[in-house]
Structure 1
Amino acid sequence: MSASSGVLQVVHKRLDILRYVCDQHPSKRKLADAASKSRATVDRAVRELEEHDLVYRTDGQCKPTLAGAKACELYVDVEESFAVLDDVTPELSALSPDADLPSTLFRDGSVFQPPARAPYERIEPLYEDLSRADSLVAVTRVFLSPYVDQTMSRGASGEMDLELLVDEEMIDAMPDAQHSVLRECIDSGATVYAVDEPPDYTLFLVDGERLYVALYADSNHLSAVIQNTGTRAVEWAADRLSRLQRRATQLSAASV
């Protein structure tokens, strides 16, 4: 067994003890009380962590080494990323295995889910961000109401700098009222593109710093939204949108 796999196994086994040591620097007695475990069990756990140079004892206290603190941070980061992944597994399983969704989306991400059945309540963090944004770059293959309505309305009024990439088929299926708003968007300075093969998810990049990835159920209603403000996730989204723009067709008001 490699040294790294040994550390991984002991952190997995003793995470509750290691986290408490990192947070509180407790005595072993206090550690046993907090962990609701016997003194003998805590002694074994601390010895295991000491053997892997993750904690040490000094002046009656258990403290993390730098390696222990970093091991705890890394493990918790992975654990939280898997929690995000677990929340959206049904939606991701419906996508192609080749779908361009990087693992960075699940690091430091949050998941919002509307009710499973109608009426579908709007996801307030997303709606509020779209209501306040100064700029938005978005791509969508389905008409997500009320989010796309809000986006086009603010773009048409000039309240927001908008770059909107939409599926060609979605444009054709729009009712007259939405065609009218889309034309107003373009007349007001928004840039609207038609995309012949958009991704099977919606991206909203808000003010260049907040990313929302909207995932759909089979019926094309919104099923889950991942929110992420991490640098890598935002940079991936900006690059993905830029690549889509390069092969899209910019629309004029007359062509809508």
Structure 2
Amino acid sequence: MDDDVDVTLLSVLTRRKPLLERLATHPTRKCDLASELDVSRSTIDRGIRDLEQLDLIERDGREYRTTLAGELALTEYDRFSHRVSNVVDARAVLSSLPPETTIDPTFLEGADVVVSQRPDPQRPARELERLTQSTDYHRGFGSAFLAHLVAVYRDAIVDGLDCEFVVTSDVLDRLVSRHHEPVSEALSTGRIELREASESASLPYCLIVSRGETTAVATVLVYVDEGLKGIITNDDPAAVAWAESILEEIWAAATPISFDGE
């Protein structure tokens, strides 16, 4: 199928979706369609013509019904619309990422989006803090962080949270130079392992998988110059599996370190 046909199909599905959905329930005559959909007969005529030209419906005697292609097109259109809706819902956070950023659409399916904005700009950070308190294990990749979250993680680790984190060299330098005490306290528990990211680990966002006794949550954190822009969380197994696969690759390529860099 060429691009022109793709565009035409999408346009027809957008405009004629109510008619196609109605015919998907059972075959119907034109005159009945006009009254049931509360539109003019001329609108029905144009809709029937558009759908017939793309083989999405067919005539059966005096009635019209969907073809297999019509049924499948309707299903795929609904799926596509839902995914676009997911992106729109997350756009306040996603808009701060480079256009070449890769995030699996699966991760956005049913995700919760928390944005740093008035009147509660600290809400995303509090949500992450809640995850440190309600789960037992975190694995993550960090290319940026809020200073106060170092203390949050230190307290959680001291209280029993197990962590595996890969951080960029810039983040590692900041931890060493500015947060020596809380990081040392966390490391002394033996419940956190740090690794330095390889040069190929170039995610423009931070990624964490948090696991509890019966729950698992994947979290994308997006930072801007002013701080944490927002987070996107999802506890769907497919979303968690996607995040875990990314983190496993980053972890395997990273270099084990101690806090002093040895």
Give the TM-score, by structure 2 length. Answer: 0.69
Where does residue 138 of structure 1 map in the other structure?
140
- Partner deviation per Cα, 1:208-232 (whole Å, 9 max, x = no partner): 964222222331223342647363x
Q: Partners of 1:35 and 1:121 in 2: how far apart?
A: 48
Answering whether residue 240 of structure 2 is matched by residue 239 of structure 1, we say no
Unaligned runs of 5+ in 1: none
The CA distance in 1 between the partners of 2:11 and 2:143, in whole Å, is: 43
Residue 112 of structure 1, CA deviation: 0.8
Deviation at 1:128, TM superposition (A): 5.4
Pick one of 22, 42, 54 that aligns with 1:40. Answer: 42
The match for 1:120 is 121
> Residues of 2 paired with 1:146 and 1:26: CA distance?
63
Name 1:171's counterpart in structure 2. Answer: 175
The answer to whether the 8 A contact 1:88-1:224 is kept is: no
Instruction: Tell me which residue corresponds to 1:212.
Output: 219
For the residue of structure 2 that corresponds to 1:138, the secondary structure is strand
Q: Give the paired residue count.
A: 250
Q: Secondary structure at the match of 1:221?
A: strand
Report the structure number with the largest CA radius of gyration: 2
For residues 1-256 of structure 1, the aligned pairs below 5 Å read 2=2, 5=6, 6-22=8-24, 24-25=25-26, 27=28, 32=34, 35-56=37-58, 64-89=66-91, 92=94, 94-99=96-101, 101-104=102-105, 108=109, 110=111, 112-117=113-118, 119-123=120-124, 130-144=132-146, 152-158=154-160, 160-166=161-167, 167-172=171-176, 174-175=178-179, 178-184=182-188, 187-195=189-197, 199-207=203-211, 210-225=217-232, 227=234, 229=236, 231=238, 234-252=240-258
Change (3 A) 1:219 1:49: same
Name the SS for the 1:14 alignment partner.
helix
Change (3 A) 1:60 1:147: farther
Distance 1:209 1:33 in 2: 50
Q: Indicate the SS of the match to 2:225.
A: coil
Q: 1 CA distance for matches of 2:67 and 2:128?
A: 40
Q: Deviations over 1:1-48 (max 9, x none)?
A: 8595243342133123334544x5485667545644223313431343
Aligned 8 A contact 1:203 1:237 in 2: yes
Q: Which segment is superposed worse, 123-132 or 112-121?
A: 123-132
Amino acid at match of 2:243: A
Q: State the one-letter code of the partner of 1:241.
A: L
Question: Counterparts of 2:78 and 2:127 in 1: how far apart (Å)?
Answer: 25
- Unaligned stretches of 5+ residues in structure 2: none
What's the CA shift string for 1:71-109, capped at 9, x where partnerless? 12222322332333345556555444554x245356625
Matches of 2:209 and 2:100, distance apart in 1: 22
Q: Which amino acid aligns with 1:217?
A: V
* Contact kept? 1:111, 1:227, Cα under 8 Å: yes
CA drift at 1:62: 6.1
- The alignment-based identity, stated in percent, is 24
Task: Quote the Cα distance in structure 1 between the aligned partners of 2:178 and 2:62.
Answer: 70
- Whole-Å separation in 2 of the counterparts to 1:56 and 1:175: 69
